[in-house]
A = this chain, B = another copy of it.
């Protein structure tokens, strides 16, 4: 976020922090929460192990901080006027995110860790709700404009997001983007005026 370093901050500190957080995320994505080893992170970041502990109290603190890093711009929000189309774009983006992005790779580790760590729990809640707000709004707009049947936007967006996360976390076949339209049809009803 802060593009310019704090005046009272040592240049080396920022450099180290950045490298470590980056390495931590890679490590988490590759090895998972269980295999996440401080040694590996340090080595990967080209940094002494002590430097990790100088900046974070322990494994968990570093992990939480690294994941915080992912919290930027959950969905930049496609500029799309048609609300139903907007729903589809948001979901397609979600499909891509959970399947390919760093956060997607960390998702299982994160879900597991959040179960026991208060900070991570909060982070996951935030991430989730922020992400879904845009979707819920788009669904609401679609309902209002008559592009969708009269559903509860909140529940509908849970069902839509849910399907995507469900496929990612509970099965070995994540939702492909091309199924998004059909999914939206299923929850919001068929597109009006035979648009598809």
* Chain A interface residues (CB < 8 Å from chain B): 32-35, 108-109, 111-116, 121, 124-125, 128-129, 149-152, 155-156, 158-167, 169-172, 179, 182-183, 185-187, 189-190
Known contacts A34-B112, A165-B162, A187 near B187 by CB under 8 Å: yes
Closest CB pairs A-B (n = 4): A162-B162, A112-B112, A162-B166, A162-B163
Q: List 18 A-B contacts (CB under 8 A).
A: A33-B34, A34-B113, A34-B116, A108-B112, A109-B112, A111-B169, A112-B112, A128-B170, A129-B171, A149-B189, A155-B163, A155-B182, A158-B166, A159-B160, A159-B162, A161-B166, A162-B167, A186-B187
CA separation between A152 and B169, bound complex, in Å?
21
CB atoms of B125 and A115 under 8 A apart: no
Q: How far is the CB of A53 from chain B (nearest CB, A)?
A: 16
Which listed residue (B32, B162, B172, B179) contacts A121, Cβ 8 A?
B172
Q: What is the CA–CA distance of A171 and B129 in the complex, to the nearest angstrom?
A: 8
Q: With A and B bound together, what is the CA distance between A186 and B189 in angstroms?
A: 10
Cα(A163)–Cα(B189), bound, Å: 17
Among B111, B125, B159, B161, contact of A186 (Cβ-Cβ < 8 Å): B159
